[in-house]
């Protein structure tokens, strides 16, 4: 197999060097119209922070056993496996939320504001 000759318009040629560009205007002219990607003021902080969590794993298949975990910054940490135990843990988590000193302190600050 032999290479076919290129047509006259398809032959490689040397690139033409670009001429020097002259600077026009002040140096800062290009920067004046550029918008910043950052917001001038970040979102205001409302002071809320997560204190207690309840994570329930309940797969859609009824043959799989559900599990749950409830934990809080005060040190409360419980784990349950099985439908009845998970239901009890949800009730315990709700009761703990009402009695926890960390959550009560957080709610006091929010209602006072």
Q: Is residue 45 part of a domain?
A: no
Predicted local distance difference test score (pLDDT) of residue 82: 94
Q: Is residue 80 part of a domain?
A: yes
Q: Residue 64: enclosing H or E segment and its boundaries?
A: none
Q: Is residue 107 part of a domain?
A: yes
What's the total number of domains in the chain? 1
**Model confidence, pTM:** 0.51
The whole-angstrom separation of Cα 94 and Cα 57 is 17
- pLDDT mean across residues, the chain: 77
Which range (24-28, 74-78, 85-89) has the least confidence? Answer: 24-28
User: Domain limits at 102?
Assistant: 52-112
Q: Is residue 32 part of a domain?
A: no
Q: Is residue 41 part of a domain?
A: no
The whole-angstrom separation of Cα 28 and Cα 30 is 6
Q: Is residue 99 part of a domain?
A: yes
Q: Are strands 77-81 and 52-57 parallel, antiparallel or unpaired?
A: unpaired
Q: Is residue 96 part of a domain?
A: yes
Q: Is residue 29 part of a domain?
A: no
Predicted local distance difference test score (pLDDT) of residue 78: 95
More confident residue, 100 or 49: 100
| Interval 1-41: pLDDT, tens | 566 776 666 777 777 777 676 666 555 555 565 555 666 66
C-alpha closest to that of 66 among 80, 54, 47? 80
């Amino acid at each position: 197999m032999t290479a076919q000759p290129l047509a006259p318009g398809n032959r490689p040629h040397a690139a033409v060097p670009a001429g020097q560009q002259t600077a026009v205007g002040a140096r800062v002219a290009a920067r004046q119209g550029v918008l910043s990607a950052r917001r001038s003021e970040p979102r205001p902080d409302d002071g809320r922070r997560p204190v207690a969590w309840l994570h329930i794993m309940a797969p859609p298949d009824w043959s799989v056993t559900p599990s749950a975990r409830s934990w809080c910054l005060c040190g409360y940490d419980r784990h349950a496996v099985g439908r009845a135990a998970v239901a009890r843990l949800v009730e315990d988590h709700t009761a703990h939320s009402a009695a926890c000193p960390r959550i009560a302190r957080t709610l006091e600050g929010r209602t006072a504001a």
